[in-house]
Amino acid sequence: MRESAIQIVIPTYNERENIARLIAEVRARHPEAGIVVVDDDSPDGTAEVVETMTAGDSRLHVLRRRGRRSFARSVMEGMLWALAREPQFVIQMDADLSHHPQYIGDLLGAAREADLVIGSRYVGGRVNVVNWPLSRLLLSVFANAYVRAITRLPVFDTTSGFRCWRAEALRAIDLPSIRSEGYSFQVETLYRAHRLGHRIIEVPIIFAERNAGTSKMSARIILESTIRPWMLVLGRSAPKSRG
Ligand SMILES: Nc1nc2c(ncn2[C@@H]2O[C@H](COP(=O)(O)OP(=O)(O)O)[C@@H](O)[C@H]2O)c(=O)[nH]1
Ligand SMILES: [Mg+2]
């Protein structure tokens, strides 16, 4: 079987109630795409749900991680797995339907002119978030302002996890040397892309809070997100020099 030109990476932890619907919604729009779900040994049986679906879908895969949970390591492993299939584009998205598959086409369209496309909640002076409590919205808006102030990244939504990478651009950021464990993965990968001079475009999405399951946002993740931008600008996360 020819491998797909589009590979979609979905990290999961306890997304049993969301994952089947997400996969169905992706499939309805992108029958040819490869989908790789990277599950961190979810106690709720998320991986088993996906495994039952792989029987009728040769382009759907599950990577089951064991040991210490890590959002960043999960996405990274999924991306490396995806890159090994020699795609043109690698998409990353959440499993909880906050990142609606209807926007995948917009990301891919913009990727014709870019190396990295970000599905952005905050582009054009708007806040396109539905059903978040004010506290969570403030956390996200503040986090973005904080990251931008320190890193000077010319991007409104630096923490979005809905992205489309041109495969060569993703290879160039040297994933194995990424240091993040939590959601600061988004900022670290974006920072590297920007430093390499990649063309980065934001396209608007409407981000809807999950209806089922729970967020894995935690104090530990917030702490890492506070420190990581400083480590980036102080040069602690350069891609390994080549040659
Ligand atoms: N594999 C893996 N996935 C995770 C982990 N933490 C969160 N996720 C997934 O990452 C995505 C975003 O997480 P979520 O809790 O919705 O974050 P929020 O939207 O910022 O509240 C979802 O698909 C989660 O299931 C983790 O430690 N490991
Ligand atoms: Mg979420």
d(CA 141, CA 111): 25
Alpha carbon of 63 to ligand 2 centroid (Å): 20
Its pTM stands at 0.96
Residue with tokens 């998205």: 93
Bridge partner residues of 120 (DSSP): 204
Alpha carbon of 214 to ligand 1 centroid (Å): 9
Of 13, 5, 54, give the one whose Cα is nearest residue 182.
13
Residue 235's pLDDT is 87
How would CATH label the architecture of 6-233?
A: Alpha-Beta Complex (3.90)
φ/ψ (deg, to 5) at 47 = -65, -35
Residue 236's pLDDT is 62
What's at 108, amino acid-wise?
L
Residue whose CA is at the smallest distance from ligand 1 atom 21: 215
pLDDT single digits (tens) 76-117: 999 999 999 999 999 999 999 999 999 999 999 999 999 999
Bridge partner residues of 9 (DSSP): 36, 92
Alpha carbon of 212 to ligand 2 centroid (Å): 10
pLDDT single digits (tens) 211-238: 999 999 999 999 999 999 999 999 865 6
Pocket test residue of 216, 217, 222, 225 for ligand 1, highest count of atoms within 8 A of CB: 216
Residue whose CA is at the smallest distance from ligand 1 atom 9: 12
Residue with tokens 């040819």: 32
Pocket of ligand 1 (CB under 6 A): 11-13, 15, 38-40, 69-71, 74, 94-96, 98, 210, 215-217
Domain map of the chain by residue range?
Answer: 6-233
What is the chain's mean pLDDT, rounded? 95
